[in-house]
Structure 1
Amino acid sequence: MVKSFQGVRLAEPSTSASQPILVSDHMTTNLTTFHPEDTIDHVVQILTQKRISGAPVLDDGQNLVGIISEVDCLKEIIRGKYNNTPRMAGRVHEHMTKDVITMDPELTIFDAAHRFLELKIRRFPVLKDGRLLGQISLSDIIRAMPRLKSSTW
């Protein structure tokens, strides 16, 4: 029989397993943004080129003033067809969502997922102290799910 003279050892606490996974861990920070005076034609071109479905709208002071999405652009496209004007000359400020719901970067991914389901919104700008830090999308949440463990919830 072998006896150990090292005494009782305490297991090292695992900090990574108990720390929540936050919105700031999965948000996109290199954002495409638009200005309220940009044309819908320009927005459609950029959204198509970058293969994204929407983006924040910032004023001259870099303050978040809205969100423009493919659905918003579709309104101008339909208006152009109705008026028989092929160009989408409408301005972003005419079609963007102005009442923007945002998320805090310290919100957990689980709480963020709940907000996506509850509000049925595809993207949320992430703000801290009134400044735009990034954006979290439904796709970002889905990509984060494989990293979640039972202790993270």
Structure 2
Amino acid sequence: MSDNLLSASRVITDKVAENISRVEELAYEIRVREVMTSQVITMHPNDTMQTVLETFRQARISGAPVLEEGNLIGLVSIEDLIRCLLNQDLAAPVHQYMTPNPVVVKGDDSVIEALKVFVSKKYGRLPVVDGTGHLIGIITKGDITRGLLRALERDYQSEEVRRYRASHLFEDIESERTSLILRYNIKQGDFEHGGEASAKIKRALLRLGAPPQIARRCGIAVYEAEMNLIIHTTEGGVIRAEIEPHQISIDVYDYGPGIRDVELAMQPGYSTASEKVREMGFGAGMGLVNIKRCVDWMKLESEWGKGTRLRMKIYLPPPHTHSKGEALAVT
């Protein structure tokens, strides 16, 4: 487990968020109950430490919850057993050496919460309880590592299946011209969902086998256009992307308020964004400039009071110039 993932006090800044790995993301998504050991060997407070020694040896475990009448009252570990052995006190009852009132995690907690406890308390294992406080399992850092690896494997396999299905989407379709059209309605002022359309288009291109550089260029261009709809329009607008073997055509349009001076709008740094939007970190006036850098052709048309239409094209290299596995499925 990486130090970054286990750092309970880590501050998630925008810069850090850009570099969060899938493992770290999964630590927030996976629940403790998904990775814990549910078949738990338990001890009774009146069992002898000799019994603990034999149980640990036979079951090959290093810790066990202590239950009395079904209630969790302690935790006995290999460290406790070592203290007992040093004292030559194997006949002593478990309750003399166990850790009473152990720290627990809930089954519905995210794995990151268990990791925080492991880091702050330096424990090797944690009892897992349900909402009523009853023991349902035990979790170790090893359980978390194995759980994350399984989740990563499922992620990989699922993505491979999606990529395969996408890349074979048009195999049995016969036509003179086949294309895939993606359409998204963008709401004015909806910063919460800003960037979702561009991310979905980029993901679709990658699954269809587009070169990563092409997908990135398209993603940036659509993102800038998407944010323009959110920031500058009165009612939002529409993004329409048509994917063909030789090109990606993107059409972005809205119905108001339009642009007074298209030539001026194309200048770096020019923006009509409000102060409120600028305080949020948007509206720096580089949107159209960035779009122009990322596409092979663009045309901006606008009529003040009626709306704006932005058309873009990114040309795709012939299939034989793609590396293995990089050929768009559309034919």
Q: Which has the higher contact order (CA 8 A, sep 6+)?
A: 1
State which of 31, 45, 58 in structure 2 corresponds to 1:22.
Answer: 31
For residues 67-146 of structure 1, the aligned pairs below 5 Å read 67-80=75-88, 88-128=90-130, 129-146=132-149
Partner of 1:44: 53
- d(CA) in 2 for partners of 1:119 and 1:75? 19
Per-residue Cα deviation, 1:96-131 (whole angstroms, up to 9, x for no partner): 000300001111112322221222111111112111
Per-residue Cα deviation, 1:53-90 (whole angstroms, up to 9, x for no partner): 0100000x21001000111011111111xxxxxx6101
- d(CA) in 2 for partners of 1:108 and 1:37? 34
User: What is the CA RMSD across the aligned residues, in angstroms?
Assistant: 1.7
Partner amino acid for 1:113? L
Partner of 2:250: none
Residues paired across the two proteins, number: 125
State which of 51, 57, 70 in structure 2 corresponds to 1:62.
Answer: 70
Q: Which has the larger radius of gyration?
A: 2
- d(CA) in 1 for partners of 2:37 and 2:143? 8
Greater share of helix: 2
Q: TM-score, normalised by structure 2?
A: 0.36
Structure 1 runs (4+) greater than 4 angstroms displaced: none
- d(CA) in 1 for partners of 2:37 and 2:56? 16
- d(CA) in 1 for partners of 2:144 and 2:120? 14
Per-residue Cα deviation, 1:34-63 (whole angstroms, up to 9, x for no partner): 00000000100010111100100000x210
Instruction: Flag structure 2 segments of 5+ consecutive residues without an equivalent.
Output: 1-25, 156-331
Where 2:105 maps in the other structure, the secondary structure is coil
Instruction: Flag structure 1 segments of 5+ consecutive residues without an equivalent.
Output: 1-16, 81-86
- d(CA) in 2 for partners of 1:29 and 1:113? 18
- d(CA) in 1 for partners of 2:141 and 2:64? 14
